Amino acid sequence: MVLSTMQDLFAGNVSFTTFQLNGFYSLGEWRHFLFIPYFLMFLLCTTANSILIFLIISRKALHSPMFMLICVMAVLDLLMPMFAVPNMLLSFLFDWNQISLVGCLMQIFCIQFVGTFQSTLLLWMALDRFFAICRPLSYHKHMQISNFLKFVIVPVIRNGLLNIALVALAGKLHFCIKNEIDHCFCEHMGLVQLACQDTSINNIVGLSVAFLIPTADFIFITISYVIIFASVIKSGKSSSKAMNTCVTHIIVLTFSLVFVLTAFLSYRTSNNVSPNSRIFISTMYILFPCCFNPIIYGVRTKEIRVQFLKLFNHEKVFSQ
């Protein structure tokens, strides 16, 4: 019976339906201590983004298109770690590291979709600044929901269809040799590498998703900011407030892009990156921007900073 099962596995007739997430297992007993820094980052992420969301929703002074986009960013930053970090923390503490194929595919889709949506949201923020600085007289017209939807619908459909295709193709693969994923959560290439059949199409689709979503968004974002800076320099007007917001967006974009590209290239290039380093980079791609974004927006955006101090002082007076 055992021999027959092994023969079926190697023949590709049986495919694994459960997987072991073995990220950082080479650390041995030290692996359990990873719970502390990752839990603290997760706590910072949830707390900072929750405060930012509450602040923007509750304060009428922040009910402008730009701050609504920042609020959506905070919602995405709040959701992103939820799909991976809680399971990762349980794995660090109790070695609960099993996941079904369906659960793995759902995790891949959720992380990929929210991640690409973050990229697209940065594009919308660039458009917001473009209209505010280069087309100030028609800003409110362009940023009305009815008009702004035309900039929203196509990217959302693009992101959804491409990520569905990515996950659907991965779900059709046979995994008949190994069911151990050297990671703390399911990542597309981490799963695809375990397949015992040709994965050329999966690699092509994965590259296409990277080119058609974050790369395309980055190109349009760059064009927008080039036009914005050229317009400000040409006009000779002082737009320090608007430019400060642009710089904030660029800082957030730069950090996000560095982590995404590093995690993406670690799978697809010949390098000497150790498995633990690659896993660490991937986990930081999920956690670090989500912790960093609300802080940088809170510190660099005067309106948010002022409203936070008002809220803090109000709560302080109320408690007394």
Q: Which domain holds residue 96?
A: 17-319
Residue 62 inside a domain? The answer is yes
Contacts of 5 (CB under 8 A, 6+ apart): 14
C-alpha 262/C-alpha 109 separation (Å) is 20
Place of tokens 């430019």: 243
Residue 24 inside a domain? The answer is yes
Task: Calculate the alpha carbon distances from 230 to 82, 122, 222 in Å.
Answer: 40, 20, 12
Count of the separate structural domains present in the chain = 1
pLDDT at 210: 84
Report residue 276 as tokens.
């633990």
Residue 98 inside a domain? The answer is yes
Q: Average pLDDT per run of 10 along the chain, which is 320 residues long?
A: 44 73 85 92 94 90 86 92 92 89 93 88 86 82 76 87 93 85 86 87 88 87 86 68 68 74 66 76 85 83 83 59
Q: Which helix (DSSP H) or strand (DSSP E) does residue 27 occupy?
A: none
Report residue 281 as tokens.
């980079």
Report residue 135 as tokens.
């087309």
Cβ atoms of 155 and 123 within 8 Å: the answer is yes
Q: Give the E-state strand segments of 57-119 in sequence order.
A: 98-100
The CATH number of whichever domain residue 77 belongs to comes to: 1.20.1070.10
pLDDT at 288: 85
Residue 101 inside a domain? The answer is yes
Residue 180 inside a domain? The answer is yes
Residue 75 inside a domain? The answer is yes
C-alpha 306/C-alpha 15 separation (Å) is 57
Report residue 310 as tokens.
């008002």
The 10 Å Cβ neighbour count of residue 149 is 11
| Residue 49: CA count within 13 A, CB half-sphere | 26
C-alpha 184/C-alpha 24 separation (Å) is 8
What residue spans of 172-199 are helical by DSSP H?
Answer: 188-192
Residue 37 inside a domain? The answer is yes
Residue 7 inside a domain? The answer is no
- Give which of 24, 108, 125, 26 is closest to 71, Cα–Cα: 125
